[in-house]
Amino acid sequence: MHKTIFRREIDSFDQPEKKDTSKNIFIRRRRSMTPLITYFSKAEKLKLVKSLFKHDNKKFIQFMEELDRKSNWRDAYTFIETELTKQKIDIFSSKARFLTDRIYHVFFPEDLSIY
């Protein structure tokens, strides 16, 4: 199975262990408890519902609500990967990466400036 490497993971290989890097990267907690669905525009939600959730808006909302319950990046990423794999969706497709990247930026807002 493929593994997505995010910028923070790559950076942590070259740095000595610090409180918020290296092996602790996955336990990063959300900085904002705003519902994750609010980070997507209406057009983005429609595209995700159409391409990842087979036009099932209710399924998308349930997915986002469950994702809101995840308290750290490891749990959130594992949930996304598991759910998309269950639906036989390539987690490396452009829409799946868009979803994952947007959620990643909730946990790591300081990385938003690199894109």
What token pair was written down for 20? 């918020």
Enclosing H/E stretch for 104: helix 94-107
Asked if 31 contacts 71 with a C-beta cutoff of 8 angstroms, the reply is no
pTM: 0.71
- pLDDT tens digits, residue range 93-113? 999 999 999 998 888 877 765
What phi and psi values does residue 38 have, to the nearest 5 degrees?
A: -75, -10
Q: Could you report the per-residue pLDDT of 71-97, keeping only the tens digit for each?
A: 888 999 999 999 999 999 999 999 999
